[in-house]
Structure 1
Amino acid sequence: MTTMKLSTKDITQIGMFTALTAIGAFISIPVGPVPITLQSFFVLLSGIILGSRKAMYSQIAYLLLGLAGLPIFSNFTGGLQAVFKPSFGFLIGYIVVAYLIGKITEAKSNNTNNLILAVFIGTAVLYLIGLPYMYYILNIMLDKNLSIMQVLNMGMFMFIPGDTIKAVLTVYLGKKIKGYRGL
């Protein structure tokens, strides 16, 4: 295993995206078990800007700080009890998604299509991690007896318009910040 030596600049960038993800959680609209926030926007952008490892570290730091009790999750919550919230699976997914988007943008040519692909795959993976966790917490832990379609409605379908806007903004900003070429 190779070790990655982090410079002061790297640590600052990781910390910045940890903080941006926390700020994104504070911009929250409660609409059910999973609120609408700007967290995923900053997670997607971290993968593009920081690359795979630094983006992943920024999201691990975010998750660990929240689990340690800092009120940096949505609705100013934090602590180990967050593990039992239906939305916690999405927080776990942030780590995977940040790394994945970073890997895709590192491995492919730097163009708009690559950014679109990375953001689309990242968003799909976020749903693939977050929704089963949500289903488990709601139906097994909280005994809600919800159908798969009800969970999809609460945890995905209602978020698609906002996620589309976040994806467009992520691609636009990622392109501007990283200097990506056109299509």
Structure 2
Amino acid sequence: MRNHTQRMILTALFAGLTAIGAFLKIPLGLTSITLQFFFTAMAGVLLGPKWGAASQAVYVALGLAGLPIFTMGGGPTYLLQPSFGFLLGLIPAAWLTGAIAQGSGAAKRVIPACIAGDLILYAVGVPYMYLILNVYLGKGMPLSQVLWAGMAVYLPGDALKIVAVTLLARPLVPALSRLSPASRNA
């Protein structure tokens, strides 16, 4: 019972941290550089696939329910924002990061886990952006331009976030394990 309660608290905490990360931003092109992926990767590494993904699902659900916790607000109309696919991508990104990290804080597990999580984030976000821009908004933006505006310009910042997650995971994973040994992957 205690472990389940701890998992739910940590899930809520990472949903809240991801919301905060949306407002720590640098505007750039069609979207902004935020700390959302940083907190998503941390959730996957520290909480494991199930609870890491759950934290991001809670974040997305609360934003769609109308809480203004996305970079530009919230509510169901946010589904039509070109950047919404990246919000959806946070859920599988956290799951994949947690599945690959497997509760380890070692760089040899965390770095590939974060890279895979980042790749799945773009695999969901970029096609969604392309469809919204071209089908719904009728912008006629070529895929190469969407790849640049929606992915390439963010990769250096993502690399820094991955380094930060890797550095923080080393002390935090063992500390969390001491608090609740079975909580990450259950």
TM-score by length of 2: 0.89
Counterpart AA for 2:172: I
Alignment correspondent of 1:119: 114
Q: Distance in 2 between matches of 1:111 and 1:25?
A: 27
Runs of 4+ residues deviating >6 angstroms: none
Counterpart AA for 1:92: L
Alignment correspondent of 1:39: 36
Give matches, 1:118-157, under 5 Å: 118-157=113-152
Alignment correspondent of 1:161: 156
Aligned identity (percent) is: 43
Give matches, 1:5-154, under 5 Å: 7-75=4-72, 77-106=73-102, 111-154=106-149
Counterpart AA for 1:126: L
Superposed CA RMSD in Å reads 1.7
Q: Distance in 2 between matches of 1:31 and 1:110?
A: 32
Q: Distance in 1 between matches of 2:101 and 2:159?
A: 19
SS at match of 2:156: helix
Which residues of structure 1 form unaligned runs of 5+? none
Equivalent pair of 2:80/2:132 in contact (CA under 8 Å): yes
Q: Which has the higher contact order (CA 8 A, sep 6+)?
A: 2
- For residue 111 of structure 1, report the CA deviation from its aligned partner: 2.5
Q: Distance in 1 between matches of 2:27 and 2:105?
A: 36
Counterpart AA for 1:140: V
SS at match of 1:30: strand
SS at match of 1:89: helix
Q: Distance in 1 between matches of 2:45 and 2:4?
A: 19
Equivalent pair of 2:63/2:74 in contact (CA under 8 Å): yes
TM-score by length of 1: 0.90
Equivalent pair of 2:106/2:169 in contact (CA under 8 Å): no
Deviations 1:54-75 (A, max 9, x none): 1111011000000000000003
Distance 1:167 1:151, change over 3 A: same
Counterpart AA for 1:17: F
- For residue 143 of structure 1, report the CA deviation from its aligned partner: 0.5
SS at match of 1:71: coil
